[in-house]
Structures are given as structure tokens and as C-alpha cells.
């Protein structure tokens, strides 16, 4: 089995991408299972992995993106291919990564159909019990990262409210609203509460709210149902809103309307982690330039579709450990056999030989 690892292309000028499809450790571990690797020079540079580390791991370094694609049976990406990569994709190839097909360019869909490509989306690989084995650890990273992002954006020189998340004796802490009680929301709640902020977690699932309550015993976390009434009430005094709503493979529902944003305090912050699926705030967007921090009605928005790239080394190690079991199966049995026989991978197929699965056609 031949894998290609091209250097990631930033989706926009102002949106960097530092992650890489597989770490040198992953390359080394898979060699003993019959895999071969062609890695584009400097593919791992942004995550702190040098070409020499990949060579020591057993990979062959190539000096063009085209060669990393053309030599491979399976291309390991982090994000779906960008426009400049379309011509390098070869007929019948398998491409794996966070594909988020619901927000893909029509041109990309056309290329995939014409070249009979198979697309495996990490975000929809699913176990029999419904767990998302690649999304869950990446969501843990995003949840913990949200505290770092929010703290900086609230600072005065960023136009924020100039408040300390955890407060100090005599000065109240920040009010944090977390919309979505899944893995990301739970980790965000624990992280914010852990430094002393007041946290409110909203979800439509009683089970998720019960789980949040169990994981945050002794912390300042309040759980609430995500009703329209509660949303309207909380946005008015929230200093930070974390949008963490996920519907696998589908567009995120818009839950925070424009008039709610207008009711927020000047210098407050919205961090929309749902943006790679369209965003769950009506004022969330990916700007033409890719500038992912902008202000609407005095409210700072953070809408970076690849936010975990800010901690690229941790994210790359996480991707590697999450997809390793599936790449091992592919290396030993071949792509078609693995996609046919492994139920997790089968659920992760967006497109098979150019045919888009019906449930992902909108």
C-alpha cells in the first residue's frame, strides 16, 4: 500500500495550515505492516517535523506536491484538497482527511465525480456505538484551546471587554455560554470552570447535560436546555459564547440569530467551532480573505475552520493516533477490502468511486 502525504495548502491567505496528514511516528509504525510513504518536502515543517525525521522513519521525500499525489494509492490529508491540488489527483485514488463535503466547492465535487475518487471523511468515521473516533480527540483539543483563544480576544488591545476570565477576589469572573454539550462543549466547560469562570452549558439532550454535570462536580457549571427562551436570556450577559454544535456530515443549525448578537455587550466574544460545517451563529462566516477574527455589532467573532492548527504538533499526533488502526488495516488488506469490511471506515465514506452517498447530497 502506497500512501502520499502532501504539504497542506492554506484554504485562504489569512487562514494558515500547519498540521500534516501523518507524523513520522505513524510512518515508522506502518512500515512493518507493508506500507510505503512518499512525503512532500517540508510537509511536516509547520508541526515541527523535519524531512530528516520522516526519512529516518522510512519515508521517501519528494520535492513536488504532484509527485506526492501521483505516486500514492491513498493520499493522507488533513483538510480536503484545495483548488491548486485538483489537477494532481489521479483517477480512482482514495483521499482521506476532514472533508466537510457540505461546504465544499462545486468544482471539487465535479473533480471527484469525473475522476471516480473515493473520499473518506475523518469527521464521519463512526463506531457501532455511535462514537466518532477521530472527531472526539480533536474536539477535546478544541475545547481546551477555547480558553486560550477567549482569554486573548477578551484583552483590551484586541477590542475585548478587558476582563480576566477567572476574575480575582472582589472582582467577578467572566460569564461563559457553551452551546453544545458534546466532547468539545464538555472540555470547554471544564477548562473555563477550572480557572474560575462562570459557565452555562446548553444542549437539547438530557443525557448530555447529565454527563456534563457528572464531569463538572464542584465546578461553577450550570446546565440548561437549549430552548429559544434560554438562548435569548443568556446571550445578553455572556462575555464569551462557544458554539460547539455538530451534526455529522450535515450543515450546522443556526441557533444564534442576528438580533441575539445585537443584544450582546460590546467587546464580548463568539467562538464558532461549528464554522467548518457552516457555523451555528447567523453572523458567523468565512470571509473571502480567510480573515477569521472580525467584529459584527461590536461583538468579536472567531471563525477559524481549522482552529486546531494553532496547536499543530498536538493535533497531528492526535490525528495519527486516531487513524492509525484504520491505516494498519488498509496496509495489510488493501483499500477496497478495508473499506468494505471495516464498519467504522464504511460509515466514513462520503464518495465511493465517484458516487456520492445519497445522505450527503443536499
CA distance 350 to 277: 15
- Which three three-digit cell numbers place residue 150? 477567549
Q: Is the dihedral of CA 140, 209, 271, 240 positive or negative?
A: negative
pLDDT tens track for 155-175: 999 999 999 999 999 999 999
Is 276 among the catalytic positions?
yes
The reported pTM is 0.92
Per-residue pLDDT at 322: 97
C-alpha cell at 156: 483590551
Q: Which domains does the chain have, with CATH numbers?
A: 2-129+312-360 (3.40.50.720), 135-309 (3.40.50.720)
The catalytically annotated residue of 51, 203, 272, 276 is 276
Tens digits of per-residue pLDDT, 87-117? 999 999 999 999 988 888 899 999 999 999 9
Catalytic residue among 51, 100, 239, 344: 100
Distance of alpha carbon 346 from the chain centroid: 20
pLDDT in tens, 219-269: 999 999 999 999 999 999 999 999 999 887 788 899 999 999 999 999 999
Amino acid at each position: 500500500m502506497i500512501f502520499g502525504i502532501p504539504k497542506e495548502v492554506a484554504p485562504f491567505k489569512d487562514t494558515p495550515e500547519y498540521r500534516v496528514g501523518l507524523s513520522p511516528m505513524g510512518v515508522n509504525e506502518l512500515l512493518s505492516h507493508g506500507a510505503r510513504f512518499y512525503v512532500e518536502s517540508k510537509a511536516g515543517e509547520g508541526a515541527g517535523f523535519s524531512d530528516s525525521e520522516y526519512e529516518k522513519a522510512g519515508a521517501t521525500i519528494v520535492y513536488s506536491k504532484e509527485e506526492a499525489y501521483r505516486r500514492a494509492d491513498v493520499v493522507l490529508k488533513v483538510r480536503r484538497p484545495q483548488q491548486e491540488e485538483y489537477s494532481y489527483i489521479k483517477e480512482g485514488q482514495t483521499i482521506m482527511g476532514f472533508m466537510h463535503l457540505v461546504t465544499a466547492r462545486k468544482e471539487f465535487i465535479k473533480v471527484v465525480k469525473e475522476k471516480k475518487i473515493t473520499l473518506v471523511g475523518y469527521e464521519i468515521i463512526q463506531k457501532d456505538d455511535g462514537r466518532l473516533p477521530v472527531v472526539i480527540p480533536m474536539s477535546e483539543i478544541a475545547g481546551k484551546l477555547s480558553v486560550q483563544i477567549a482569554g486573548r480576544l477578551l484583552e483590551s488591545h484586541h477590542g475585548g471587554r478587558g476582563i480576566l476570565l477567572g476574575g480575582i477576589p472582589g472582582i467577578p469572573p467572566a460569564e461563559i455560554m457553551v452551546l453544545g454539550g458534546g466532547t468539545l462543549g464538555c472540555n470547554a466547560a471544564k477548562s473555563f470552570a477550572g480557572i474560575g469562570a462562570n459557565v452555562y452549558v446548553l444542549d437539547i439532550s438530557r443525557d448530555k447535560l447529565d454527563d456534563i454535570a457528572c464531569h463538572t462536580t464542584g465546578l461553577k457549571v450550570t446546565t440548561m436546555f437549549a430552548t429559544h427562551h434560554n438562548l435569548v436570556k443568556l446571550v445578553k450577559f455572556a462575555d464569551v459564547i462557544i458554539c460547539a454544535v455538530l451534526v455529522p456530515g450535515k450543515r450546522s443549525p443556526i441557533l444564534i440569530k442576528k438580533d441575539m448578537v445585537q443584544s450582546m455587550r460590546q467587546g464580548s466574544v463568539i467562538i464558532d467551532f461549528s464554522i467548518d460545517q457552516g457555523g451555528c451563529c447567523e453572523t458567523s462566516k468565512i470571509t473571502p480573505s480567510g480573515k477569521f477574527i472580525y467584529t459584527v455589532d461590536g461583538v468579536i467573532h472567531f471563525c477559524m475552520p481549522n482552529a486546531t492548527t494553532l496547536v499543530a504538533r498536538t493535533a497531528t499526533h492526535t490525528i495519527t493516533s486516531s487513524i492509525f488502526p484504520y491505516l494498519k488495516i488498509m496496509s495489510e488488506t488493501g483499500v477496497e477490502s478495508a473499506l468494505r469490511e471495516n464498519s467504522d471506515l464504511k460509515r466514513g465514506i462520503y464518495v465511493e468511486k465517484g458516487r456520492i452517498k445519497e445522505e450527503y447530497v443536499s
